Chains A and B, each alone.
Chain A
Amino acid sequence: MSKTKISMEGAVKAGELPLGFAARPGSTRNFKTGDWRSARPVLDREKCIYCGFCYIYCPDGVYQDMGPEEKYYKADLDYCKGCGVCAQECPKNCIQMLVEEV
């Protein structure tokens, strides 16, 4: 018997996986990709003109419209992978990518 205790085991048991590795629709919601991120978008609301470029360009659809009262789009950090496309495309240059501290 090996005395070495192993780490990095799977999230589920093979025998408990659903047949065909199938799932109910919408399972991507449970897959939080925010921890892939090395930098997060930080919005300067003073400069934001509520144009929606960040919302349109975001490849992961993490921006949510906060409505005509609030007049800005908010990144859902549970899913934002920190690619920085929003910061690149913002016409007012009001999104900064802030490096995540571990």
Chain B
Amino acid sequence: MSVTDSTKPVGIEVSLAMAEAVKLAEAEVVAAYPITPQTHIVEHLSDLVANGELEAAYIPVESEQSALSACIGSSAAGARTFTATSSQGLMYMAEMVFIAPMLRVPIVMAVANRAISGPINIWNDHSDIMSVRDCGWIQIFAENGQEATDLSIISFRIAEDKNVMMPFILNIDGFTLSHFIEPIVFPEAAKVKKFLPPYETTHKLDLAKPMSMGLLGAPEYYAESKKATDNALLGSKPYVQKAFDEYAAIFGRQYKLVETYRMEGAETAIVAMGSIAETAMTAVDEMREAGEKVGLVRLRLWRPFPVEEFRAAVRGVKTLAVVDRHFTPGFPEGPVATEIRALMYHEDDRPRMSNFILGLGGRDVPRNHFKYVVEKAKDLGAAGRQGQYEMVGVQE
């Protein structure tokens, strides 16, 4: 009897739940290198393979660069492929990360988000993923354990869709999500089989029908190749929502590209990504009770950016308090705020906007930080000032 056979919620660490979900997705190859705080995911997968619960090749490689290289090869050869990494591991893997989208190999990779060194820090923020933001993968952020589990299955469906064929990064906050024990409802194995048909590649690396992959792109080809990859990434957006809708029809949990919380009549909106949005929701509830017209907009899909969905979510809002979990040294705003300001620039009725850097390197983010950013964003907006980011709670 496996935990995934249970029809009731199971108390389980989120990393382990994700590994169990990858088992339900019947991944055929897992190649990974251990790095905190991702380790429990692949450690548990290696257990599942060793115990015969998952029929897959587990490749213990010597580095993250090798991990993704192995994944690219196995995905190209037609195997459903999974890996996971964090922080320094993602940095070490970076060379291959940028190559995978061009090759159109639908690998699913969990990234347990962690600060990058230095100083050495193993705790959560988004500096790892934001440092490879432009890698060309579909990128999504899970908020809680149930979502991380469901997305571990949905990711394959999206990535392997014949109309998509793109690698997929599933971000979960390191420790604050990866290491928490939460009640998880596992989708029924037979229904997962129905939702997720076997992977069939569209351009197989096959000895019987040889093909070269990873070619030189001379100046007269390179730009066209990049354009083709971006068209594929931008074109994947409707298939992300389609997979969410089909998952909802079978399993009853509906996901959207952009989530909103108590945005009815909101004059101020917090914009956040990942697990801190759970804390933000509680803070919004408390502020609403105190009469504050505030709501929350959470970006689930980060790439391709849900431009229209985001604009629709914040329409009519006077003030935005945009939260970043990473910052851009030498630039006045963090990556999320920079992009949102760029997206809103051409809107006639654009809101005032301020940027707050929260929870760097695992610094705790309590509810009152969200109250603070809402008050501060309103003050700055009223004064017509919208400038430099504020690193909340930093001692100068």
Residues of A whose CB lies within 8 Å of any CB of B are 10-15, 17-27, 31
Partner of A22, one of B213, B216, B231: B213
Of B38-46, B219-227, B339-347, B365-373, the stretch lying at the interface with chain A is B219-227
Smallest beta-carbon distance B301→chain A, Å: 23
Which single residue of chain B is at the shortest CB-CB distance from A27?
B212
B22 within 8 A of A: no
User: A14 is contacted by which of B202, B210, B220, B228 (Cβ under 8 Å)?
Assistant: B228
Decide if A17 touches B105 in the complex (CB within 8 Å).
no
Q: How far is the CA of A11 from the CA of B221 in the complex (A)?
A: 6
Give the distance to chain B from A5, nearest Cβ to Cβ, in Å. Answer: 18
CB-based nearest B residue for A24: B211
Could you give 13 example pairs across A and B, Cβ below 8 Å? A11-B221, A12-B221, A12-B224, A15-B228, A18-B203, A20-B213, A21-B102, A21-B103, A21-B215, A22-B211, A22-B213, A25-B212, A26-B212
A19-B165, A20-B102, A20-B103 as given contacts; A10 in contact with B223, CB under 8 Å: yes
Q: Is the CB of B104 within 8 A of A20?
A: yes
Contacts A10-B223, A15-B231, A17-B225 given; does A22 touch B165 at CB 8 Å: no
B47 to chain A, nearest CB (A): 33
Contact indicator per residue, chain B 210-244, by CB within 8 Å of chain A (1) or not (0): 11110111101101110110010000000000000
**Contact of A20 with B105 in the complex, beta carbons under 8 Å:** yes
Given contacts A14-B224, A18-B203, 17 further A-B contacts (CB under 8 A): A10-B221, A10-B224, A14-B225, A17-B221, A17-B224, A17-B228, A19-B202, A19-B203, A20-B102, A21-B103, A21-B213, A21-B225, A22-B103, A25-B210, A26-B212, A27-B212, A31-B218
CB atoms of A23 and B215 under 8 A apart:
yes
Please classify how large the interface on chain B is, using the bins under 10, 10 to 19, 20 to 34, 35 or more. Answer: 20 to 34
- Report if A24-B212 is in contact (Cβ < 8 Å); known contacts: A14-B231, A17-B228: yes
Nearest chain-B residue to A23 (Cβ)?
B212
Interface SS of chain A: loop
Chain A residues with CB below 8 A from B221, complex form: 10-12, 17
Contacts of B228 in A (CB 8 A): 14-15, 17, 21
- Return chain B residues, CB-CB under 8 Å to A19: 104, 165, 202-203
Contacts of B225 in A (CB 8 A): 14, 17, 21
- The residues of A that contact B217 with a CB separation of less than 8 Å are 21
CB distance A23 to B203 under 8 Å?
no
- Chain B residues contacting A15 (CB-CB under 8 Å) are 228, 231
The distance in angstroms between the C-alpha atoms of A18 and B231, with both chains bound, is 14
B223 engages A22 (CB within 8 Å): no
Q: For residue B227, which residues in chain A have a CB less than 8 angstroms away from its CB?
A: 14
Query: What is the distance, in angstroms, from B79's C-beta to the closest C-beta of chain A?
Result: 15
Residues in A neighbouring B213, C-beta threshold 8 A? 20-22
